[in-house]
């Protein structure tokens, strides 16, 4: 595949990185890191809305999944708590459904995040009885859920019909999870609802799988962003740290480590670009292969990059004050959610 980011996409990434540098999420998180999960901020949501990023995938904005991918990478790099991909995916679905919540969602007045069953241990059950939709069980972990106003449930019923419903968060039980990730909140929704006819919508066949694929792609892209920052931090540290009166970056073993890290990140980026391009295409089989190949390769590669970064940093990388452990924690959670490495390898083998 011949592919490169356009000048507009490069500018989009640079602008988002500039905003994130000015409003450093990790620096903002540090003072309250022991007080509870990371929260989205009004300023962050306002930035996403005013920049058109929540509605990026809508017809008016005309953005692509590649556009969203470059943004998600920047937020992963910065350790941002903002659920950029989730908000954009929800806005796109609400527009397709012509849902009344679309306008408030796109403007940032109401935060709506998608919730689905877990890929590997599905625990959400959906059943249509006459005109009613019955939802019960527990969703997969969702980032930003504790700050959302509503949840966009996307599910496959016992008969294979795909359905969606927007439900206020106070209609379900939200449980915030204690995870390794200190830069984002992760929660699940326990649901036991019967929705009357007219309060839920049938979806086009394949929509649930598409949303799973999109979330898996952007979860891996987030990990890529964190891994890319670790590469930069490691190269900078190796140039500053001296041993035997010379920078450790001059040692062949350290050079090999840094080269392997950089190679892993660039290869993963190429795979994820291919997955994002496939999300914008119409071939479901191609999308399945591209997404699972990218998610599996990136999950494994980002985790290895994180471990190598910690090894090169040595003792300082283990300290609470250094940012290395925050990015490693984020990568490890990304590796497990929206399909683990082993899940995507099995899916790819069966495709």
CA nearest neighbour of 80 among 142, 27, 151: 27
Q: Is residue 134 located within the same domain as residue 265?
A: no
What does residue 277 show for φ and ψ, rounded to 5 degrees?
A: -60, -40
Task: List, for residues 87-130, the tens digit of each pLDDT value.
Answer: 999 999 999 999 999 999 999 999 999 999 999 999 999 999 99
What confidence score (pLDDT) does residue 275 get? 98
Query: Which of 183, 202, 221 marks a domain boundary?
Result: 202
**CATH no. for residue 304?**
1.20.140.10
Please check whether residue 319 lies inside any domain of the structure: yes
Q: Is residue 233 located within the same domain as residue 259?
A: yes
What confidence score (pLDDT) does residue 138 get? 98
Q: Is residue 76 located within the same domain as residue 181?
A: no
Q: Is residue 157 located within the same domain as residue 224?
A: no
**Gyration radius of the chain's alpha carbons:** 20
**CATH no. for residue 34?**
1.10.540
- Local structure of residue 6 (DSSP, 8 states): -
> What is the CA angle 349-68-299, rounded to 5?
35
Q: Is residue 12 located within the same domain as residue 31?
A: yes
Classified as helix, coil or strand, 39 is coil
Query: Which of 80, 107, 134 marks a domain boundary?
Result: 107
CA distances from 121 to 46, 67, 118, 185, 332 (A): 35, 31, 5, 21, 19
Please check whether residue 219 lies inside any domain of the structure: yes
First-to-final CA distance of the chain: 20
Q: Is residue 218 located within the same domain as residue 266?
A: yes
- Local structure of residue 147 (DSSP, 8 states): G
Chain centroid, CA 170 distance in Å: 24
- Local structure of residue 185 (DSSP, 8 states): -
CA nearest neighbour of 67 among 78, 55, 77: 55
Residues 6 or more apart in contact with residue 243 via CB below 8 angstroms: 251
- Local structure of residue 307 (DSSP, 8 states): H
Please check whether residue 75 lies inside any domain of the structure: yes
Cβ–Cβ under 8 Å, residues 169 and 115: no
Total domains in the chain come to 3
What six digits make up the tokens of 271?
């795979």
The rounded distance, in Å, linking the Cα atoms of 209 and 215 is 10
Please check whether residue 295 lies inside any domain of the structure: yes
On whether the pTM is more than 0.85, the answer is: yes
Q: Is residue 138 located within the same domain as residue 198?
A: yes
Cβ–Cβ under 8 Å, residues 83 and 110: no
What confidence score (pLDDT) does residue 2 get? 62
Q: Is residue 159 located within the same domain as residue 212?
A: no
Please check whether residue 1 lies inside any domain of the structure: no
Please list the ranges in the chain whose pLDDT falls under 50: none
The rounded distance, in Å, linking the Cα atoms of 119 and 258 is 34
Q: Is residue 160 located within the same domain as residue 217?
A: no
Residues 6 or more apart in contact with residue 177 via CB below 8 angstroms: 141, 186, 187, 188
Strand partners, 163: 155, 202
**CATH no. for residue 132?**
2.40.110.10
Q: Is residue 229 located within the same domain as residue 292?
A: yes
Query: Which of 180, 202, 224 marks a domain boundary?
Result: 202
Please check whether residue 235 lies inside any domain of the structure: yes
What six digits make up the tokens of 153?
């449930």
> What is the CA angle 159-163-167, rounded to 5?
135
What confidence score (pLDDT) does residue 281 get? 96
Domain ranges, residue 178: 112-202
Residues 6 or more apart in contact with residue 186 via CB below 8 angstroms: 37, 141, 142, 143, 145, 176, 177, 179, 333, 337
In which residue are the tokens 């709506």 written? 112
Please check whether residue 151 lies inside any domain of the structure: yes
Please check whether residue 96 lies inside any domain of the structure: yes
Q: Is residue 219 located within the same domain as residue 339?
A: yes
The rounded distance, in Å, linking the Cα atoms of 39 and 106 is 20
Q: Is residue 48 located within the same domain as residue 150?
A: no
The rounded distance, in Å, linking the Cα atoms of 6 and 66 is 10
Please give the helix or strand (H or E) that residue 186 lies within, else none: strand 186-195
């Amino acid at each position: 595949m011949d592919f490169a980011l356009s000048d507009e996409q490069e500018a989009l990434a640079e602008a988002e990185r500039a905003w994130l540098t000015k409003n450093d999420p990790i620096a903002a998180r540090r003072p309250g890191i022991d007080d509870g999960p990371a929260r989205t901020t009004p300023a962050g949501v306002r930035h996403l809305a005013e920049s058109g990023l929540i509605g990026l995938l809508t017809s008016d904005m005309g953005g692509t999944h590649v556009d969203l991918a470059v943004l998600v990478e920047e937020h992963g790099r910065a350790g941002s708590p903002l659920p950029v991909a989730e908000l954009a995916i929800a806005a796109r679905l609400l527009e397709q459904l012509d849902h009344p919540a679309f306008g408030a969602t796109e403007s940032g007045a109401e935060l709506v995040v998608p919730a689905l069953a877990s890929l590997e241990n599905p625990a959400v059950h959906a059943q249509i009885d006459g005109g009613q939709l019955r939802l019960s069980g527990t969703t997969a972990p969702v980032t930003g859920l504790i700050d959302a106003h509503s949840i966009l449930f996307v599910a496959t019923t016992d008969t294979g019909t795909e359905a969606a419903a927007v439900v206020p968060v106070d209609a379900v039980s939200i449980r915030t999870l204690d995870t390794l990730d200190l830069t984002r909140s992760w929660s699940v929704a326990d649901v036991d609802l019967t929705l009357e006819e007219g309060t839920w919508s049938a979806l086009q066949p394949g929509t649930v799988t598409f949303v799973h694929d999109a979330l898996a792609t952007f979860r891996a892209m987030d990990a890529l962003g964190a891994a890319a920052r670790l590469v930069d931090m490691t190269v900078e540290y190796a140039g500053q740290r001296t041993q035997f009166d010379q920078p450790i970056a001059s040692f062949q073993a350290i050079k090999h480590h840094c080269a392997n890290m950089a190679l892993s990140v660039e290869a993963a980026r190429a795979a994820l670009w291919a997955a994002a391009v496939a999300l914008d295409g119409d071939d479901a089989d191609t999308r399945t292969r591209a997404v699972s190949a990218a998610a599996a390769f990136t999950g494994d590669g980002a985790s290895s990059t994180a471990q190598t970064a910690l090894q090169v940093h040595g003792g300082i990388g283990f300290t609470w004050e250094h940012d290395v452990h925050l990015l490693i924690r984020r990568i490890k959670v990304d590796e497990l959610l929206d399909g683990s490495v082993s899940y995507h390898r099995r899916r790819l083998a069966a495709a």
